Amino acid sequence: MPEVFNWQIGRQMSYPHEERHPKMQFAFVFNTNRCIGCQTCTMACKSTWTHSKGQELMWWNNVETKPYGGYPQHWDSKLLTMLEEANPGEQVWDAREKDPDRKPYGEFKGKTIFEAADTKPRPDGPQAALGYLPTDEEWRSPNIHEDTATCKSAPAKDEYGGGTTLPEHRVWFFHLARICNHCTYPGCLGSCPRNAIYKRPEDGVVLIDQSRCRGYRKCVEGCPYKKAMYRPTTQTSEKCIACLPRIEGKDPTISPTGAPAETRCMTSCVGKIRLQGLVEIDDDGLWAKRPDNPLYYLIREREIALPLYPQFGTEPNGFYIPPRWVNRDYLTQMFGPGVQGAIEQYSCPDRELLAVLQLFRAQQQILFRFAIEQGPKVGEIEVTMPDGTSKTQELFNDTIMGYNKFDEEVVRITVQEPTFERPADIHVNSI
Ligand code: SF4
Ligand code: SF4
């Protein structure tokens, strides 16, 4: 297999295809601290793309309750177990040697799904990636274990007292919203024997060519996130298409000037947890330095948003601000060694970070740049830090502006929520 460079695991790795990179890359940040599990995103996607015959069990966007929930059931714990069996005790990170550009989380010393592929010989020959095909039962209950918290079956009376006190809850769950990560080195693409899957050079969106697909389901098997799905009525596989018309600026309601807009699941998010964008990619595959791009700022500059299971090796382009009340070992397994630093920053965001966090769901067009106008100090609050100490956070009423692809200002929002007083003689809601 050719060697490619994966910055999320901080090293070269083998991949079935030569290294090649798009000019821009579809990417997103989900702030798990804010997700309320309302499934509005799920239904926005379902009613747009997967409401036809044969797509009944197909949820391109899903929100599962961790640690027990999963769609398909057990997708992550199954693959983690397979990887551990393929490389016992060696699936570890060396987080000591970091380099902000090439290894921001250190180096993953274990095996990725591509490197572990040949550890499990199969009767149908060598595989491109370690994976498995979920059973029909596993696809059947997309929201299984909704809102189910960790708990022993019969806890001692005082065992969980004070369970909801930061920095870490002793009883916890959180909502993990998921879509296709439009990975840099997709497992689905690498596993397809028909070369039916491709990555668009203009925006890095990963698509399945329906005319080439023969429904072998190798992509379903090879996607570690299980985001390629089989449709029995057409006997082909389908997946998230990143709401292409919107990314291309072809929705005249949202983009009258043709500027790229965010996807349906992003723009419908009630909890304001989602921010989607396009980031510029250099020829060597690394992200071009654009500290005023909101996604670059959150992911590369501040490292507050982390990839989902970076150790799988696909270099996913979905990033998560980890939930700050959840067991740290669990989070580190899921988001890598950057968890502690991300939670620390999110617990007490500085002035600039707090302003950028206001951009989540403040508009529908994709933001390519932001700028901040400083405002007055409006308060101070005491916050609990991850190590249990408290810290004073200063609050400033700064204003942040976001600009679309054509550098037009499309959002202007203040840190302090404005209060509007309705004139006494107008009662719009009264009957
Ligand atoms: S998440 Fe899965 S389906 Fe999406 S690009 Fe990555 S490997 Fe392919
Ligand atoms: S719409 Fe937003 S808040 Fe609601 S479940 Fe989806 S990601 Fe979470």
Q: Which residue range is the domain that position 208 belongs to?
A: 3-347
In this model, does residue 156 exceed pLDDT 70? no
**Ligand 2: which of 173, 270, 272 to mutate, judged by most atoms within 8 Å of the beta carbon?**
270
Band of pLDDT at residue 424, cut at 50, 70 and 90: confident
Distance CA 417, CA 249 (A): 30
pLDDT at 399: 98
Question: Distances in Å between the alpha carbon of 229 and those of 63, 139, 307?
Answer: 16, 10, 22
Instruction: Find the length of the chain.
Output: 431
The stretch 144-148 carries a mean pLDDT of 94
Ligand nearest to the CA of 192: 1
Tell me which DSSP letter residue 103 carries.
B
The stretch 196-215 carries a mean pLDDT of 97
Nearest Cα to 319, choosing from 342, 341, 286?
Answer: 342
- For residue 411, tell me if it sits in a domain: no
pLDDT at 90: 97
- For residue 50, tell me if it sits in a domain: yes
Burial track 262-284 (b if 16+ CB lie within 10 A, e otherwise) = bbbbbbbbebebbbbbbbebeee
Band of pLDDT at residue 167, cut at 50, 70 and 90: confident
- For residue 45, tell me if it sits in a domain: yes
Atom 4 of ligand 1 has which residue's CA nearest to it? 180
Tokens for 408, please give them: 């037009």
In this model, does residue 153 exceed pLDDT 60? no
- C-beta of 273 in contact with ligand 2 (< 6 A): yes
Instruction: Report the mean per-residue pLDDT for the chain.
Output: 94
Band of pLDDT at residue 151, cut at 50, 70 and 90: confident
Burial track 25-47 (b if 16+ CB lie within 10 A, e otherwise) = bbbbbbbbbbbebebbbbebbbe
Ligand nearest to the CA of 38: 2
The stretch 114-142 carries a mean pLDDT of 91
- For residue 413, tell me if it sits in a domain: no
Contact 49, 229 (CB under 8 A): no
Q: What is the pLDDT of residues 280-316, one digit of tens each?
A: 999 999 999 999 999 999 999 999 999 999 999 999 9
pLDDT at 333: 98
167: preceding bond cis by omega (within 30 degrees)? yes
- Calculate the CA 263 to chain-centre distance: 14
Backbone angles phi, psi at 373, to 5 degrees: -105, 125
Distance (angstroms) between ligand 2 centre and the Cα of 235 equals 31
Distance (angstroms) between ligand 2 centre and the Cα of 312 equals 25
**Ligand 1: which of 62, 112, 188, 198 to mutate, judged by most atoms within 8 Å of the beta carbon?**
188
- For residue 123, tell me if it sits in a domain: yes
Atom 5 of ligand 1 has which residue's CA nearest to it? 182
**In the chain, what percentage of residues exceed pLDDT 90?**
86
CATH number assigned to the domain comprising residue 131: 3.30.70.20
**How many structural domains are present in the chain?**
1
Which residues are bridge partners to 365 per DSSP?
A: 261
Distance (angstroms) between ligand 2 centre and the Cα of 258 equals 27
pLDDT at 289: 97
Distance (angstroms) between ligand 1 centre and the Cα of 221 equals 11
Tokens for 233, please give them: 């009525």
- C-beta of 269 in contact with ligand 2 (< 6 A): yes
Q: What is the pLDDT of residues 172-188, one digit of tens each?
A: 999 999 999 999 999 99
Tokens for 420, please give them: 């509007």
The stretch 110-139 carries a mean pLDDT of 91
- For residue 393, tell me if it sits in a domain: no
**Ligand 1: which of 239, 309, 312, 319 to mutate, judged by most atoms within 8 Å of the beta carbon?**
239
pLDDT at 22: 97
Q: What is the pLDDT of residues 18-51, one digit of tens each?
A: 999 999 999 999 999 999 999 999 999 999 999 9
The pTM is what? Answer: 0.95
**Ligand 1: which of 314, 315, 317, 319 to mutate, judged by most atoms within 8 Å of the beta carbon?**
314
Distance (angstroms) between ligand 2 centre and the Cα of 276 equals 14
Nearest Cα to 187, choosing from 215, 222, 213?
Answer: 222
pLDDT at 270: 96
The stretch 119-128 carries a mean pLDDT of 82
pLDDT at 10: 98
Distance (angstroms) between ligand 2 centre and the Cα of 176 equals 9
pLDDT at 317: 98
CB neighbour list of residue 65: distance below 8 Å, 6 or more residues apart? 37, 143, 145, 146, 147, 148, 173, 174, 175, 176
In this model, does residue 155 exceed pLDDT 60? no
- For residue 104, tell me if it sits in a domain: yes
Distance CA 68, CA 72 (A): 11
pLDDT at 121: 75
- For residue 385, tell me if it sits in a domain: no
Tokens for 338, please give them: 């950057």
pLDDT at 130: 96
**In the chain, what percentage of residues exceed pLDDT 70?**
96
In this model, does residue 388 exceed pLDDT 90? no
